[in-house]
Amino acid sequence: MAITLNTGFKMPIVGLGVWRVEGKEIRDLIINSINIGYRHFDCAADYRNESEVGEALSEAFRTGLVKREDLFITTKLWNSDHGHVIEACKDSLKKLQLDYLDLYLVHFPVATKHTGVGTTDSALDEDGVLDIDTTISLETTWHAMEDLVSLGLVRSIGISNCDIFLTRDCLAYSKVKPAVNQIETHPYFQRDSLVKFCQKHGICVTAHTPLGGAAANIEWFGSVSCLDDPVLKDLAKKYNRTVAQIVLRWGIQRNTFVIPKSSKVERLKENFEVFDFELTKEDMDLIKTVDKKHRTNQPAKLWGMDLYA
Ligand SMILES: NC(=O)c1ccc[n+]([C@@H]2O[C@H](COP(=O)([O-])OP(=O)(O)OC[C@H]3O[C@@H](n4cnc5c(N)ncnc54)[C@H](OP(=O)(O)O)[C@@H]3O)[C@@H](O)[C@H]2O)c1
């Protein structure tokens, strides 16, 4: 199941996110997920496993498991490479062993001190606060992203972690419109206005952290997980599904793409089995009531400052 982006290319609705997957786990994860039916992979230079993803993809192509044109591969420009967009994209392509990307995203709308292409460091200043480069705006970065399309290195370009104002600005100055805004959204952080704004203006929304980050974000950020929510648990019983499947189905029915991460084969299957049932309008409305406006992915805890404040 796929939806056509504003560039005319189709993006599968469910993808596999590979953040926090260790290099040695990647090969089996990618091969298993292709066997299950995944055709969309969400990567990033900052996940520091592009080379291992590239090895796995190359094996999948070499053995005839899948063809390049049947996969949709996303990766992302890290903050420290905003002044080096073309080199950073080429570095990712090399690591991924690809000659084009389906989607290249600006990971965060903020440039930081350059530390060498592809190194993805987040340099902090002497006070332990993220060292932001104030000479590079998202507009400057975006025009370099547009060049990637002209060069044939990337089919679609997009933004990530952008609010309504930044997205509006990007629409205003872009020659190539952003195809996607990848944002955190799940039942505990629904962000209906931002989702509606993007969709109204032809920008598809990819829900990152679509399960609310579950155990991983409890461990990393002390977050609260929507998978433990009593209303969602009751819905899971009602539909004879797991809570994760209810949460992903809700994401799909609000026309967002979902890119859950799991390192477990059973969960990869579970997270992909979300196309054979439908939540009623009443239950979609019920899920609206559980919103806690709770961002579970909190880079502020790593960067000494809250970019969203
Ligand atoms: N653009 C951005 O700034 C940004 C930020 C964050 C994430 N992302 C992207 O979004 C992807 C997903 O985000 P995420 O990994 O942070 O969060 P997530 O997919 O919402 O949740 C991942 C957590 O859920 C667990 N899990 C997966 N399936 C489950 C299931 N069926 N039942 C119970 N638990 C389950 C995983 O554990 P196991 O692995 O043990 O199953 C892991 O602890 C990332 O991999 C990345 O590609 C992008």
CATH number for the domain including 204? 3.20.20.100
Residue 161 lies in a domain: yes
Ligand 1 cavity residues, CB under 6 Å: 17-19, 42, 107, 160-161, 182, 208-216, 227, 242, 244, 259-264, 267, 270-271, 297
At 309 the pLDDT is 86
Residue 139 falls inside a structural domain: yes
Q: Token pair 């209810």 is at which residue? A: 246
CA of 274 to the centre of ligand 1 (A): 16
> Tokens 């974000």 sit at which residue?
217
In a domain, 309, yes or no: no
Separation of alpha carbons 260 and 15, rounded Å: 7
Residue-range definition of the domain harbouring residue 137: 2-303
The C-alpha torsion from 6 through 18 and 149 to 144, rounded to 10°, is: 110
Q: How far is the CA of 296 from the centre of ligand 1 (A)?
A: 11
Residue 286 domain-assigned (yes or no): yes
Tell how far the Cα of 61 is from the centroid of ligand 1, in angstroms.
26
Whether 43 and 118 have beta carbons less than 8 Å apart is answered as no
- Residue 308 counted as domain residue: no
- Does 134 map to a domain? yes
Instruction: Divide the 309 residues of the chain into consecutive groups of 10 and give the mean pLDDT of each group.
Output: 97 98 95 98 98 98 98 98 98 98 98 92 90 96 98 98 98 98 98 98 98 96 96 98 98 98 98 98 98 95 91
Q: Please state, in angstroms and rounded to a whole number, the distance separating the CA atoms of residues 203 and 164.
A: 12
Confirm whether 47 is a catalytic residue: yes
Question: Which residue, by CA, sits nearest to atom 9 of ligand 1?
Answer: 208
Tell the residue nearest (CA) to atom 33 of ligand 1.
244
Q: What pTM does this model have?
A: 0.98
